[in-house]
Structure 1
Amino acid sequence: MSLLDNVKNLFGFTPAQPVKAEPALEQTTETSKPVSKGLPPAGQQRDRLLRFVIDKLRPYQNEPETAPTALNLCICCVTNEEEDVYKVALWDSQPGKFRSELVRQLADNYIQLPANWRFAYTFYSDALPDCTYRDGNLGLLIPDRTRPDTSPLLARLVTVKGQLEQDAYSLDPAQKTSYCIGRGHSTQTASGRVRTNDIVLLNDDDPGFNAERGAGNGAVSRAHATIRYDAARRQYSLLADPGGLPASGNKTKIFHPDGTMDRADIPGMGYPLQHGDQIELGGEVLILFEVI
């Protein structure tokens, strides 16, 4: 140590200590997660479908006399996944629900379609057919009312209350124009003729009968009612057969979607059916009528 250093130490002067450099902090850049670019949720697609149909039907606002009698919604889907989303949007597993929602929203926009108007939808994988209206991958087919529609009107019956042999029955005029409704598969009428029922309510001794579901089946006659189809008018009607009339101590009613009700109590008279009607048999069994 030099003389100068000794003097500095004597008077308390110490050499400055070297500053230890702090290690540089690594800069971390937070990368944002990629945003999913998948298909829109089914609810968004449902709103889009409803808006599309309503917008194209605006010319019929306050014009119920000229409103379409049928609508066919056409959807072009590139993938099966896309088609599945649209099926959820259309409530494919709940027949009639999308049509009912469409009726409600059309009414909010002063558009009223005929009571028995038909609604259908079809998926296409390549391209849309010639449509009345188009918007992107959506198309809407509206039949020309100047040409008479002679195609048969398809319908179905769905169990609401009671136990039928099938939960749903299809009505196809190309196959039959008259459908007998009653308890059991067959019965002998007063004239001696054997009647075979097409719409069967189970007897308590039939295979598959459930005592809880079929508790009210016994109130239904073996020859209760008949549904007939008029091809010229493209109209289904309900007739109460002898077993379903008050004279036999029974009753048959039709509850309409607008809250009104018809009693089918006149022999041989046909009571027109419209989409959404509920047929009551014997005061215990309810069957929903739907146009498809």
Structure 2
Amino acid sequence: MSFLENVKKLFGFTPAEPPAAVAAPAPEIRRVESTQTAPKPVRSGPPPAAPRRDQLLRFIINKLRAYQNEPETAPIGLKLAILCPTPEDEELYRVVLWASQPGKFQQELNRQLADNYIVLPKNWQFEYAFFTDELPASTYREGNLGLLVLDHSKTGAVPLLARVVALVGQTEQAEYVLNSVQKTTFCIGRGHTAQTTSGRVRTNDIVILNDEDAGFDPIKGAGNGAVSRAHATIQYNAPQRQYALLVDSGGLPASGNKTKIMHPDNTIERADIAGMGYPLRDGDQIELGGEVVLLFSYL
């Protein structure tokens, strides 16, 4: 520094140093959150219940293909078991089975079975149940599904027995026991056999004796000529677990014969419609031709 500058500084003539530059404040950064939400994934294809229902229908139809074109041996009932570990699974299958519309799933199943030439009896039964741990014993199993098929061969575990005895008139046996496992149709008529209009020979299971038949006892009363050789039939209805009386051609008024059922409550039911089943109650009395009275009872 020169002498002159030192003198100026000594006497205060040195210019003041410029103030330090002040840094401009940094611009305030505001965080703006987006108000837009992420779009929800769009579900493709049919709702979950629809493919599950198709799967269920295919499962049942495939397991019943053995009954195609075999109406005589077709199942009389189906019991469906579904394994549902969670409440959500059970709720889904309730939608699948149209639980809020009873009978709708069975109708749809019946239609699709018929389309596959699987014809079930008119009054076939359908049931379903949900299980959380394991499936019960079933005829068929696949994944979480089980199917129990009920047919005539499986009804033998619980046979329905009935008895027929003659109160008026003579029969070949003192009593006849009807066993739904051994047979489902029991023909009633005079004599052992009769030839139908089609030429087929009919064999009677409950034989009414006439005065020319062996074993007829005149001491017990007159003959039973008013009973036709093909008078009536007792038939077992498996879905309803009940016996019913059907009147054959020889037991209709057109043949000069009458058939009626006298119930324990003293009401009388005339059985005069061909092909119609008249349910039998315990203690019913069946009158044939006005001469023979049979007592029907369940064992």
Q: TM-score, normalised by structure 2?
A: 0.47
TM-score, scaled relative to structure 1: 0.48
* Larger Rg over CA atoms: 2
